[in-house]
Amino acid sequence: MDQVNPAGQHFFFGRGRKTMYEKIDSDLRKRIEDVVGTENLLSLPEELEDYGRDETPGLSARPEAAVRPGTAGEISALLKLANEYRFPVLARGGGTGVTGGAVPVHGGLVIGLERMNRVVEIDEKNMMAVVEAGVITENLHRAVEERGLFYPPDPASLDSCTLGGNLAEDAGGPRAVKYGVTRDYLTGVEAILPGGEIIDYGGKTVKNATGYNLLHLLIGSEGTLGIASRITARLLVKPEIRVDLLVPFPSYREAVEAVAAIQKRRLAPTAIEFMDRQCLEISRRVLQNPVPFDDAAAHLLIEVDGDEPGRVEKRYEAIGEICLEGGAADIRVADSPRYQEQIWETRRKLRDSIKTVSPVKVSQDVVVPRMEIAALLAGIEQIGKSRGVEIISYGHAGDGNVHVNFLKRDREEAGWREAVGKAVPELFQLAVRLGGTISGEHGIGFSKRDYLSLALNPAAIAAMRSIKRSLDPGNILNPGKIFPVDEGKK
Ligand SMILES: Cc1cc2nc3c(=O)[nH]c(=O)nc-3n(C[C@H](O)[C@H](O)[C@H](O)COP(=O)(O)OP(=O)(O)OC[C@H]3O[C@@H](n4cnc5c(N)ncnc54)[C@H](O)[C@@H]3O)c2cc1C
């Protein structure tokens, strides 16, 4: 199978590729089946199709088998088998990752967590939730909100991503501006290390200073250091009031200056999302949602929450004034659940909406210090012009985290790939020059691994590789992610 990375380089995966790993033959398949049961082993090509891709554009590699285990013990037995026979294994949650983390680029076995999807406990007294790692993030939100509690991390993919995937990617979301990311809420994990050992680290305590923090080592490790099977998360009290503002600006510069002004005034918005004009045009066409200000060059979607109506009102009015002083043409206040849902649907579905106008695209996620976002957007505009590539941007402006989409539309493929191949490293260099880095929340996975050295020095990369080697000497767990596999080394 021929694949192309964002820089336009080709990769070859799948059958026929020389590999240091063993193939899963019929004897081995039988041993895998003995662990999970016949009904939980998938091996027909059509069954495996979906396990060979995630949401990364243009990347797929069919696994040799896929399983749906039901317990940590079964996962442990599978990892032991993987070491015994030396075949690659990876965990898969919702398959919504966008850097190829769940794509089995070296073949082998995919472990789907979909059967491990129970909310095990909501401990209202300790304000903690215990879930199996395959729980869909939105289901946890619903379960805790019914009890007046709140789990803040809200990746825009929350209707299909899982807590295990969120842990592995340290997922953020719009509310990260006020509440932080996944790492800030997890307190305990049961996980299976690459050798098959089951560890149990942390629990319902809000503090923990017991040895190396293995939970935090696993968070953001992109499924390369262990497979989470059970997760404990701390909860907050659900804010009673939520108000959203949709604010149109005549240019992106004015929009991001308003973001900086809001933050300097410490008005504690819950979310500040940025969308450029093309984003809204595309959304309006695809979702048929009326966009109130369709001639604006940029929009901010700002959320404020809290418990005291007077104070919430004061904060959103102050934010509104800053926006108007900063050049906003108008402000639309959404305080009814129906309207709020509509404007957030526009934002959450942007990724899919963009795909319908340009099925071939490359998207990147870069992050800079909050006050550098104007310089980042100006630099992105410059890269688009100089490379002759259409770029549309949106994202978490309040965090300095922008999703940059390079669209092909109906351009000729080879010329477009060549231009994007030059534009992508320029984008990463720009982010690093501004004091930022090459991923804010989507991880490195497969599609960014060739750029790691733009963001990290050799000593940092060597330290990461050494952690990986010590936990997974056979390199069986999600090989080829974050770093390429060194085929010469056993
Ligand atoms: C429309 C859309 C919107 C998005 N919005 C956001 C956003 O706002 N914020 C954000 O941060 N991301 C966002 N993402 C990216 C993605 O949803 C997140 O990275 C998410 O955390 C992935 O979860 P998943 O369950 O789908 O993981 P998968 O895609 O299945 O896997 C991702 C990685 O996690 C590993 N993994 C999965 N489960 C486990 C486990 N139990 N133990 C160990 N490793 C595991 C996999 O091996 C893989 O490396 C978005 C994606 C889409 C398509």
The answer to whether position 413 is within a domain reads: yes
Question: Is 123 found in the same domain as 232?
Answer: yes
CATH number, domain with residue 169:
3.30.465.10
Domain end (from 321, 349, 377): 349
* Residue where a domain terminates, one of 330, 349, 368: 349
Element (H, E) at 413: helix 413-433
Q: Which two tokens stand for residue 331?
A: 């402000």
Residue nearest (by alpha carbon) to ligand 1 atom 2: 157
In whole angstroms, give the CA distance from residue 380 to residue 426.
9
Residue 19's pLDDT is what? 65
Same domain? For 209 and 130 the reply is yes
| CATH number for 14 | 3.30.43.10
- C-alpha to C-alpha distances, 430 to 160, 245, 366, 382, 434, nearest whole angstrom: 32, 31, 9, 11, 6
Nearest CA to ligand 1 atom 16: 97
Q: What is the C-alpha separation between 105 and 308, in angstroms, rounded?
A: 51
Same domain, yes or no: 163 and 273? no
Same domain, yes or no, for 191 and 263? no
Q: Residue 417 falls within a domain, yes or no?
A: yes
pLDDT the model gives residue 487: 58
- Taking the C-alpha atoms of residue 70 and residue 399, their distance in angstroms, rounded to an integer, is 37
Alpha carbon 448 to its chain centroid, in Å, reads 13
- What SS3 state is found at 472? coil
Query: Which residues make Cβ contacts (< 8 Å) with residue 280, sequence separation at least 6?
Result: 291, 294, 296, 299, 346
Domain assignment present for 483: no
pLDDT score recorded for residue 185: 98
Which of 101, 48, 87 is CA-nearest to residue 449? Answer: 101
Task: Judge if 219 and 130 occupy the same domain.
Answer: yes
Query: Could you tell me the CATH number of the domain that includes residue 293?
Result: 3.30.70.2190
The answer to whether position 465 is within a domain reads: no
- The reply to whether 401 and 379 lie within a common domain is yes
Residue ID of nearest Cα to ligand 1 atom 52: 157
Domains identified in the chain, total number: 4
Spacing, Cα 163 to ligand 1 middle (Å): 9
**Beta bridge pairs of residue 65:** 109
Where among 189, 217, 237 does a domain terminate?
A: 237
Query: Is residue 333 located within the same domain as residue 362?
Result: no
Rg for the chain (alpha carbons), in Å?
23
Ligand 1 centroid to Cα of residue 165, in Å, is 4
Residue ID of nearest Cα to ligand 1 atom 49: 101
> From CA 260, how far away is CA 266, in angstroms rounded?
10
Parts of the chain with a pLDDT under 50: 1-17, 490
Asked if residue 453 belongs to a domain, the reply is no
- Is 469 within a domain? no
CA 407/CA 78 separation, integer angstroms: 41
Q: How many CB atoms lie within 10 A of CB 399?
A: 24
| Residue 402, SS3 per DSSP | strand
The alpha carbon of 229 and the centre of ligand 1 are apart by a number of angstroms equal to 15
Give CA–CA dist 109/404, Å, rounded. 32
**Residues within a 6 A CB radius of ligand 1:** 54-55, 90-98, 101-102, 113, 133, 155-157, 161-162, 164-166, 168-169, 171-173, 222-223, 227-228, 351, 441-442, 478, 481
Mutate to test the pocket of ligand 1, among 60, 169, 347 (most ligand atoms within 8 A of CB): 169
Question: Does an H or E element contain 279, and which?
Answer: helix 277-287
Question: In the structure encoding, which two tokens stand for residue 170, read together?
Answer: 């340290």
**E-assigned strands of 74-226?**
89-92, 109-112, 119-123, 128-132, 149-150, 186-192, 198-202
C-alpha of residue 443 to centroid of ligand 1, in Å: 9
Alpha carbons 107 and 26: distance in angstroms, whole number: 16
**Of residues 94, 87, 81, 30, the one with CA closest to residue 64:** 87
- Give the number of other Cβ atoms within 10 Å of residue 183's Cβ: 16
Pair type for strands 65-67 and 241-249: unpaired
What tokens does 457 get? 């020095």
Closest to 237 (Cα-Cα) out of 335, 127, 138: 127
Q: Which of 98, 103, 157, 282 maximizes ligand 1 atoms within 8 Å of its Cβ, making it the mutation to test the pocket? A: 157
d(CA 273, CA 289): 18
- Each residue of 413-439: pLDDT tens digit? 999 999 999 999 999 999 999 999 999
For the CA of 223, the closest atom of ligand 1 is 44
pLDDT tens-digit readout, 57-70: 889 999 999 999 99
Global pTM value: 0.95
Rounded to the nearest angstrom, the distance between the alpha carbon of 412 and the centre of ligand 1 is 31
For residue 462, being part of any structural domain is answered with: no
Per-residue pLDDT, 8:
40
Does residue 266 share a domain with residue 337? Answer: yes
Residue ID of nearest Cα to ligand 1 atom 15: 97
Contact of 44 with 37, CB cutoff 8 Å:
no
CA 135, 55, 107, 478 dihedral sign is negative
User: Does residue 306 share a domain with residue 266?
Assistant: yes
What was the pLDDT predicted at 421? 96
Residues 416 and 336 reside in one and the same domain: no
Where in the sequence is the domain holding 101, given as residue range(s)? Answer: 2-114
Same-domain status, 84 and 126: no
Q: Establish if 60 belongs to a structural domain.
A: yes
CATH number, domain of 389, equals 3.30.70.2740
